[in-house]
Structure 1
Amino acid sequence: MEPPRIELSSDTQTRPTAGMREAMANAEVGDEQRGEDPTVNALCARMAELMGKEAAVFLPSGTMANQIAFLVHCRPGDEILAEERYHVINLEGAGAAALAGAFVRPISAPRGIFTAEQLEARIRKPRRETPRPRVVTIEQTVNFGSGAIWPVEAIHEVAAVARRHGLLMHMDGARLLNAAVASGVSAASYCEAFDSVWLDLSKGLGCPVGAVLAGSEPFISEAWVWKQRLGGAMRQAGVLAAAGLYALAHHVERMTEDHDNARLFAERIAGLPGVHVAEPIETNIVLFDINGMTAEALVNALAAKGIRLDAIDTQRLRAVTHLDVNRAQVEEAAAAVAEIMGG
C-alpha cells in the first residue's frame, strides 16, 4: 500500500527529520538497564526538570507509561476516575483492569474537562462493597475533545477535591507541550498538582518512539520494577533518547505552526454543506461531523486523492496536524473535503 501524500490521521505518523536522524546516529550509548546510557540519562534529567519532578524514566510507549503509573499507584480492587473519552478507557485494551486489577470509573464532561463538583459527585463514600477510589487522571490535551487544554486553575480545583479524599493525581500528558506552547503556561506549572505525569515523544515532538514518565524518586524507583516486569527495560537506548533531546531543542516552539494549520483546516471546512466542526480548536486536533455520507466513505474518497484522515465513528472524523504537514497541504486537504462534500 502506498503511503498517503498528506497524512492527517495522527501526529504519531511523523518521521524523523534529517537533523534528528543525525543526532540518533551520533548518540553516545551504554546499557540503559544498568543506568549506563548517558543519552537516556540526559533525556530523563531534562524531562524531570521540564515537568518539575524529582526523577523520570524512559519508556517505549505512552500506554506503558499510563499502565506503569496505575500499577504503582493501585492495588487490585482500586478505582481510577477518568473522563469517558480518555485514552486509558478506550485505547489501552482495558490495561488497568487486566494488569493492575483496577476499575476505571468514567466521568462525562464537555470536551473531556470535568469540574471539581463533577469529580466530587463521582467519588464513592468508603464502603466494603464498592471499589476503593485511588487515582484521578486527566488527559492533557484531550485527544477526543479536539485537543482541548485543561486550564491550570481547573486542574488545581480538581486536585483539591482529590487530596481531600486522599486520592492520587496522574496526568496522561501525551500532548502536554502542545498545551504549554498554545497557552504560554509552562509544562511544570501544568504538572505541579500531579503525583505522576508522562510526556509522549512520538506525537508533536516528532520522534519515532518513546515516552518519559516522571514523579518522585520513590515513585520512579517502583516504576522501574514494573518497567522490568513488563519488558520495557532496554539496552543501548541512547539512539532513541537522542531523538527526544533533539526534539526538545528544535521541535517545541514550532508547534505553533501545527496549531495555526489546524485552525486553518477547521476554518476552510466549517462552512461546507453537511460539515460541522465539533468544537473550538485550541491545539492541533480537529474533530468534525458530516451529513450526507458516512465518515468511512469520506475517508475512502480522500484516500483516493492521497490524503488520510481518521474516522472516529460513523459520522465523525479527526484531522491532526504535525511537523510533516505544511500549510499548502492543509489547504489541499480542505479543498478535497469541499470537493467531495459538494462545497
Structure 2
Amino acid sequence: MSDSNKSIADIKQTYRDSALRAIEIEKDAIAALSDRIDDHFVRACEVIMACKGRVVVTGMGKSGHIGNKIAATLASTGTPSFFVHPGEASHGDLGMITGQDVVIALSNSGNTSEVVTILPLIRRMGAPLISMTGNSDSTLAKEAVANLDVSVALEACPLGLAPTSSTTATLVMGDALAVALLEARGFSAEDFAFSHPGGSLGRRLLLRVSDIMHTGDRIPRVTGDTPLSGALLEISRTGLGMTTVVDAEGNMTGVFTDGDLRRTLDKSIDVHTTPIHQVMTQNGKTIQADHLAAEALNIMEEMKINALPVTDEDGRLVGAINMHDLLRAGVI
C-alpha cells in the first residue's frame, strides 16, 4: 500500500509501531550491559578512585554529546570531571590534560581518527586511559587500561546508521560508572547540594529545617497531664495538625496528631478528663534543626505524617515543621 492510499489510522499506527520497535531495541541494548559489569568495569572504578587530578572525557560527534553528559554527571556526583573535544585537543586544548588526570575516551568504532590521533600524547603524559567502545579489538580499546564494552546488536535506526542504541548504551554505562563512584565515595545529599545551589533543586537541597521551622510560642506543646481537650485547643491554636508533649525540662515525651485524634474518638474516652499522656504516641518521630528540609520531607512521606517536632541533640524541643512549611519554601 502506497503512502497516498494509507488511511490516517494506518499512518498513526505506523508511527506507534516504529516508536515501540525503537524502544524495544534500546531496552535490549541496555539489558545486555548487565553482563559487562566485569573486571574491566571494576578496574575503571579503581583507576578513577585513585586519580589525583580530574576525569577528562572525550569523544567525537554523537559520542561527544554523550561524553559531555557523562562528564557533567560525574562532576555533579563527586568526581571532578570535564569534557574536551578531541578535534580541539589537537589544536591546543590538549594542554587541559595532565599526567594526574584520567581520560575516558568514547568511540563506538574505537577507531575514530580524531580520538586515535591524541592517544600517543595521552600515553606520553602518563594519564591512564579508559575507553567505552563497541569494538573490543579496536585501537582505542587496546590502548586502554580498561575497556567498557558498550557494543549493541542493533541500532534502533532501521538503516543501522544513526547512533541510537549505541549512544543509549554508552550513556547508561556512564551513569553506572558515576553511581558506582558516588557510592564508593560515600557521596551524600548534602555533598550533592553544594554542586546544585541554583533554582528549585538548590532550595530543596540547601534549605535546613532551622530556616523554616516554627519556634517559640508558635511551637505546639502541652504537658503530659494536660487533658485531651486542652491538647486539641493547642493543635487549633498553632495550626500544625499536631501538638508535642513535653516534660518539665522541655524534653519531648510524645506527640499527638490528627491521626491520633481519629483513633482516640473510636474509643469511649472523655476528652475533658483524659490526660494526653494516655493517648499520645510516645517518642514520636523527630528531626534536628541542622538537617536538610528535604530530609524532613522524606520522613513525612515515609511515615505518612504531615508534621514533625524539631529537637536538639539532647532531645529538647526547639521547633516544629509541617508539610505546608515545606510547600511554601519550595522543597516540594
TM-score bracket for this pair, using the shorter chain length: 0.3 to 0.5
**TM-score if structure 2 supplies the norm length?**
0.33
Structure possessing the higher relative contact order (Cα contacts under 8 Å, 6 or more residues apart): 1
TM-score by length of 1: 0.32
Structure number with higher helix proportion: 2
